[in-house]
Amino acid sequence: MTIETASLNELAAATARRRTFAIISHPDAGKTTLTEKLLLYSGLIRTAGMVRGRKGGKTTASDWMGMEQERGISITASAMQFPYKDAVVNLLDTPGHQDFSEDTYRTLTAADSAIMVIDAAKGVETQTRKLFAVCRMRRIPVLTLINKMDLPGRPPLDLMTEVEQALDIHASAINWPIGSGSDFVGIVTRADSQVQLFSKTMHGGATKVETDTLPLAALGSQGRVSQDTMAQVHHDLELLEIAGNPFTREQFLQGEITPVFFASALTNFGVESFLDAFVDMAPSPGMRPADRDDGSELFVNPTDMPFSAYVFKLQANMNPKHRDSTAFLRICSGRFDRDMVVKHHRLGRDIRLARPHSLVAQERSTVEEAYPGDIIGIVNPGIFAIGDTVSLTGGFNFKPLPQFQPEIFARLRPTDVGKRKAFDKGVSQMAQEGTVQIMRSLHDQEILIAAVGRLQFDVLQYRLRNEYRVETILDALPFSCSAWLEGDPATFKSPSASMLVKDQRDRVVVLFGDQLMKTIARDRNPDHVLRDMG
């Protein structure tokens, strides 16, 4: 065997072991808690911190920003890698709140599969539908975890039906709950009729749960399950055998069926068996579409092509000790080696990928090598933008990342004019990350900011205060939609509830009070074009 053949075999084997996925859900479905428990069962952390812990208590490893820890929500996407059995898992934890969906959508482009977490009491919620639609559009296979089975919830069969009807996908139950609420004591794996009975530990959900495994036929002899619960489980399983959807991995990978699991991330009931099933079912990295410089389409094969990657996220000041910006790269093909020199496609020059690292919250570990599916952080000295492609060969770019049209606008200024330099630096940095969009008046006299949701403004002010020591005043503006203006702005006839500004690329943008004003502007200006932003 030649050295080159051995190297290709190593690349193929390493790629086959990778599982890169995102967790999606509506807020409060338990997504961040599940993330923490997956880290617990992987051995990456010894004890799991609750999302809403007691004051001074442990916080979740994936939520690194102080505001996330205070509010108990995920605000930014975070990336973590951990080994599990024979697999190498890359976990992308995403914000659930709709105000941060642009960050979530960009992160989903880096995933090969997704875990959809559903609250057993609430079922399929609004944000779940939106994120699932993105997965379907990008042909990302989705596993469903119905969470919070330890709390009062809806009947499992009703939840299965709702998943199918609300998301227009077949659902196949891989396991089935034994009891619910305070009576939730275990699960049945349908393929082999094996039961896992769980026992709460004295440490609650901070440590691994104790499990007894036995055949379904022996469940009644344990004395831990009531006759009514036993009867319900047998009734549901029989119904699933008659009317349920059989699971095939081919249909799953095609996005035609979602395997469904039941668990309680808070108590750890069902988490380990879910993780076992995930690494068996989820796909390893596949081909990625890209555009060649000549306009033709290219599909980048992870093992046949040399190293390539793209930037899907920028984040500054993740660790106050470093005070720098990190570019998150999804590796799409080939092997990455520390300090390798690659082509930066947008800039048209060679760069060195220096100081590569992996992250769990604020903890950094140097990366010596990485493979397709892996996420690496590179210190960004101001040369990376979201969507940038880098590779050894050049000649193509991965598909552009999705952008959202802003819906809220505001003026922002520092309370202390002496902090103007720090203010400008902070706002510019967060605009590069995609936290907000910066707009300026036509004569550059004032800064305006635009965002998808109000919470993005809260994050901006919080980070300016904590990372740049700048207090700010924010004045909301009465606009709810916008469009790029093509034509001479001097001859544009503006409706009363509108405003002309420039975006970060010096393109003229018109802000409107509502859609009616945009329609009126189009009617008044037949020689101009109003093109929707996005």
Would you say 270 and 205 are in contact if contact means Cβ atoms under 8 Å apart?
A: no
Quickly state the pLDDT bin for 71 (edges 50, 70, 90). Answer: very low
Q: Which residue has the higher pLDDT, 97 or 517?
A: 517
380 and 324 in contact (C-beta within 8 Å)? yes
Position 194 pLDDT exceeds 50: yes
Beta bridge partners of 75: none
Question: Is the domain of 347 the same as that of 451?
Answer: no
- Report which of 451, 328, 326 is spatially closest to residue 380, judged by C-alpha positions: 326
Tokens matching residue 16: 């086959």
pLDDT, residue 362, reads 53
Highest mean pLDDT among 7-11, 66-70, 90-94, 95-99: 7-11
Q: pLDDT grade, residue 458 (50/70/90)?
A: confident
Across the strands, what pairs with 509?
484, 501
| pLDDT for residue 482 is more than 90 | no
Q: Are the beta carbons of 67 and 467 closer than 8 angstroms?
A: no
> What pLDDT is attached to residue 321?
59
Read off the pLDDT band of 523 (50, 70, 90). Answer: very high
Name the residue among 444, 456, 523, 449 with its Cα closest to residue 479: 449
Do 181 and 162 fall within a single domain? yes
Average pLDDT over residues 212-240: 91
The segment with the largest mean pLDDT, out of 298-312, 463-477, 519-533, is 298-312
- Has residue 365 been placed in a domain? yes
Kindly tell me if the per-residue pLDDT of 368 is higher than 60: yes
Specify if 9 maps to a domain.
no
Note whether 274 and 303 are same-domain residues: no
How does DSSP assign 423-480, residue by residue?
HHHHHHHHHHHTSSEEEEETTS-SEEEEESSHHHHHHHHHHHHHHS---EEEEEES--
Q: What is the pLDDT of residue 461?
A: 86
- CATH number of the domain residue 240 falls in: 3.40.50.300
Residue 147 lies in a domain: yes
Domain boundary among 348, 375, 398: 398
Residue 1 within a domain: no
- Please give the pLDDT value at position 165: 96
Beta bridge partners of 196: 187, 213
Q: What is the CATH number of the domain that holds 320?
A: 2.40.30.10
Pairing of strands 257-262, 142-147: parallel
Is the pLDDT assigned to residue 524 strictly greater than 90?
A: yes
> Looking at the structure, do residues 437 and 467 belong to the same domain, yes or no?
yes
- Which of 375, 398, 421 marks a domain boundary? 398
- Tokens 């902090």, located at residue: 419
Dist CA 249 CA 236 (whole Å)? 23
220 and 82 together in one domain: yes
The amino acid present at 115, given as its one-letter code, is I
How many domains in the chain?
3
The residue ranking higher by pLDDT, 386 or 155, is: 155
Query: Residue 416 CB: number of other CB atoms within 10 A?
Result: 12
User: In terms of Cα–Cα distance, which of 268, 206, 274 is closest to 45?
Assistant: 206
Which among 173, 140, 167, 175 is positioned nearest to 253, based on CA atoms? 140
Classify 119 as helix, strand or coil: strand
Two structure tokens written together for 54: 């007691």
* Top mean-pLDDT range of 7-11, 84-88, 129-133, 403-407: 84-88
Q: Radius of gyration over alpha carbons of the chain, in Å?
A: 25
- Amino acid letter, residue 236: D
- In the block, tokens 């997704």 appear at 114
Assess whether pLDDT exceeds 80 at residue 425.
yes
Give domain status of residue 7, yes or no.
no
End position of a domain, from candidates 376, 398, 420: 398
What is the bridge-based pairing of β-strands 18-25 and 87-93? parallel
261 lies in some domain: yes
Instruction: Grade residue 222 by pLDDT with cuts at 50, 70 and 90.
Output: confident
434: left (phi over 0), alpha (psi -120 to 50) or beta: left
Stretch 347-358: mean pLDDT, rounded? 90
Q: How far is CA 131 from the centre of its chain?
A: 10
Residue predicted with more confidence, 202 or 468 = 468
The pLDDT-based confidence of 430 (bands split at 50, 70, 90) is confident
Pick the residue with more confidence: 46 or 149? 149
258/111 same-domain check: yes
Residue 76 has pLDDT above 50, yes or no: no
When pLDDT is averaged across residues 348-372 and rounded to a whole number, the result is 84
Following DSSP, what letter does each residue of 86-118 receive, concatenated? TEEEEEEE---SGGGHHHHHHHHTT-SEEEEEE
CATH number at residue 476: 3.30.70.3280
Q: Is the pLDDT of residue 1 over 50?
A: no
Burial (CB < 10 A; 0-12, 13-18, 19+), residue 299, is: exposed
Cβ atoms of residues 65 and 83 within 8 Å: no
Q: Verify that 523 and 469 share a domain, yes or no.
A: yes
Domain-embedded: residue 343: yes
**Average pLDDT score over the chain:** 85
pTM: predicted TM-score of the whole model, two decimal places: 0.78
- Looking at the structure, tell me whether residues 394 and 423 fall in a common domain: no
Q: Taking each helix axis from N to C terminus, what angle separates 454-467 and 420-433, rounded to the nearest 10 degrees? A: 130
Mark whether 110 and 37 lie in a shared domain: yes
243 residue type, one letter:
A
Beta strands (DSSP E) in 139-236 are 142-147, 170-173, 175-178, 186-189, 194-199, 210-215
pLDDT higher than threshold 70 for residue 297: yes
Q: Specify whether 134 is located in the same domain as 160.
A: yes
Q: Report, as an integer, the average pLDDT of 469-497.
A: 90
Give the end-to-end CA distance of the chain in Å, rounded to a whole number. Answer: 51
pLDDT for 96: 43
Lowest pLDDT segment from 306-315, 342-351, 375-384, 437-446: 437-446
Maximum pairwise Cα distance, the chain: 84
What number is the average pLDDT over the span 339-356? Answer: 94
Domain that holds residue 336: 288-398
pLDDT at 57: 43
In a domain, 10, yes or no: no
The yes-or-no verdict on residue 456 having pLDDT over 70 is yes
pLDDT, position 200: 77
Are 309 and 262 contained in the same domain?
Answer: no
Model confidence at 164: pLDDT above 60: yes
Q: Give, for 486, the enclosing helix (H) or strand (E).
A: strand 481-486
* pLDDT value of residue 155: 96
431-444 tens-digit pLDDT: 777 777 888 888 76
Residue pair 210/269 in contact by the 8 Å Cβ criterion? no
pLDDT of residue 319: 55
Asked whether residue 369 falls in the same domain as residue 460, the answer is no
Q: What is the pLDDT of residues 97-148, one digit of tens each?
A: 444 456 777 888 899 999 999 999 999 988 788 888 888 888 999 999 999 9
Task: With a cut of 90, say whether residue 272 has pLDDT above it.
Answer: yes
